Structure 1
């Protein structure tokens, strides 16, 4: 059977990004695998190790039995420890070992996608032993693959695919976290609105509205009297939302109109990825 229609967009986005990753790292010489990326604490090798590891988990492979070093400064939570396991176990793998394992994993996952016959709402294992639906798992793998593709592009100075299928998945995933950022984390007042005007390869305008009870919601309609309007390009938006850069490092790429204190609070809490 083929992938369920509601899963197809995620499968296509994942395929596009994973093939781009393979193309990016295939020609690298050994030393280039150690280049730092915008993902805190991770090199090019670490990013690819993470991608391989997560796809192996989607395939149901057992997790490696491995003890993490105690001096990994970027590992600050149980979630981070969980993710680091698949990375650290491959830290001494050579370039040919990395590319061959990536290729083999891609082949296995592509076969899995072609034969997928589970309903999108079927529950499956999620990180840390939790459960998630197949649809959520597909969406998050497409999101994760695109973000890490961009990490690699930044590290290797090969920009591109900011408007690929994975970019649209990433946009939707990141926008889901925006009401919480504005209403709860930044503390926008009740009965207020904040507008986000994003331009570039991927353009959109969204308004986060805070109701009388302080709850946030998001829609695509403009607001006539927003407390704040934040304008930025798509690359800056995703980098801020994924914790790849702080707003204080790119002030020239963000335009603020309205309440500057609230804007600063929103930008300070903008990262929504773990």
Structure 2
């Protein structure tokens, strides 16, 4: 197993084990609490994680009719919902046990896979299998945080998978600043994220109207927020009006960027 595959697998394993440890402490009513992920309860979140891992293990998709939920907007969403729908009659601990079993089987499977085999990643781009595992770490951590907020049990915000989240989703910031943010050539937007993990980065729009990473010096606008706020915004869990963000500099530019921070569908 090469280094990227090893690192991403460790991050993936850590966040799922953290989720399972939390699940073991939940009372029966906790499983039905709504989360910030539209349409999904705490149990649904765990069902989704189990379903994806079982699919990656080669198990067939569940044969179940998915109702016309408002939060299911396309065929991919319907595919993901099937794994959730089929588990809705099951008690939460049973669903958690399925995720635990899937994790152990995946940890046996992963060392035998070619980390350089090219596959389609969730962002629609081809990439090595090790990158797919990085996406799995990011997704599992995102849903762990959904569960933790729902049950009022914060934690694991600075997990190794949080770095996967940052590295994958921050790649969209240059596009956001340049396109929906409509920054003019020469303008820059800095992002000051306090955690841990902590990040201080900036994007400048050049003459070709493309955003590029630069040092965060004398930006046109700066957005300062804590790490959890950044994660909620970029994961599409909350909008700018729902969270606290300190804005310095060009307020209109900052508002356009904040209004378009959601990266995941």
What is the match of residue 261 of structure 2? 270
Match of 1:233 among 207, 226, 231: 226
Q: What aligned pairs does 1:33-182 form with structure 2 within 5 A after superposition?
A: 33-70=31-68, 72-113=69-110, 115-118=111-114, 120-124=115-119, 132-182=127-177
TM-score (norm 1): 0.91
Whole-Å separation in 2 of the counterparts to 1:11 and 1:128: 19
Whole-Å separation in 2 of the counterparts to 1:124 and 1:63: 19
Verify the 8 A CA contact 1:208 1:217 in the aligned structure 2: yes
Whole-Å separation in 2 of the counterparts to 1:112 and 1:64: 21
Alpha-carbon deviation of 1:131?
Answer: 5.5
1:213 has 2:204 as partner: no
Q: Give the unaligned 5+ runs of structure 2.
A: none
Whole-Å separation in 2 of the counterparts to 1:9 and 1:260: 39
Verify the 8 A CA contact 2:189 2:221 in the aligned structure 1: yes
Provide runs of 4+ in structure 1 moved above 6 Å: 127-130
Q: Give the unaligned 5+ runs of structure 1.
A: none
Corresponding residue pairs, total: 265
Verify the 8 A CA contact 2:118 2:127 in the aligned structure 1: yes
Verify the 8 A CA contact 1:29 1:95 in the aligned structure 2: no
Alpha-carbon deviation of 1:30?
Answer: 3.0
> Can you list the C-alpha shifts for 1:35-63, whole angstroms capped at 9, x where unaligned?
11111111011100110011112212221
Match of 1:22 among 15, 20, 31: 20
> Can you list the C-alpha shifts for 1:89-123, whole angstroms capped at 9, x where unaligned?
2111123421221221111111113x3340x3312
Verify the 8 A CA contact 1:14 1:145 in the aligned structure 2: yes
Verify the 8 A CA contact 1:193 1:223 in the aligned structure 2: no
What is the RMSD of the two structures over their aligned residues, measured on CA atoms? 1.9
